[in-house]
Amino acid sequence: MLMHPDIDPVALRLGPVAIHWYGLMYLVAFGLFMALALRRLRHEPYASLTQGEWGWQRRDVEDILFYGVLGVVIGGRLGYVLFYKPAYYFAHPAEIFAVWQGGMSFHGGLLGVLVAMAGFARMRQRPFLQVMDFIAPCVPPGLAAGRIGNFINGELWGRVADPSLPWAMVFRGAGSSARHPSQLYEFLLEGVLLFVLLWLYARRPRRLGEVSAAFLVGYGCLRFIAEFFREPDSFLGFLSLGLTMGQWLCIPMVLGGVALWVWAQRQPAPFVRAAAH
Our CA angle for 231, 236, 239, nearest 5°, is 85
Helix/strand/coil for 5: coil
- CA gap 11, 19 in Å, rounded: 6
Q: Give the CA distances from residue 34 to residues 11, 65, 158, 177, in Å, rounded to whole numbers and listed in that order.
A: 23, 7, 31, 40
Mark the binding-site residues, compressed into ranges.
Answer: 147
Q: Determine which helix (DSSP H) or strand (DSSP E) holds 169, and give its type and residue range.
A: strand 169-170
Nearby residues of 244 by Cβ (< 8 Å), 6 or more positions away? 227, 230, 232, 233, 236, 238
Which amino acid is it at 214?
A
Tell me 235's DSSP state. T
Dihedral sign, CA of 253, 259, 260, 262?
Answer: positive
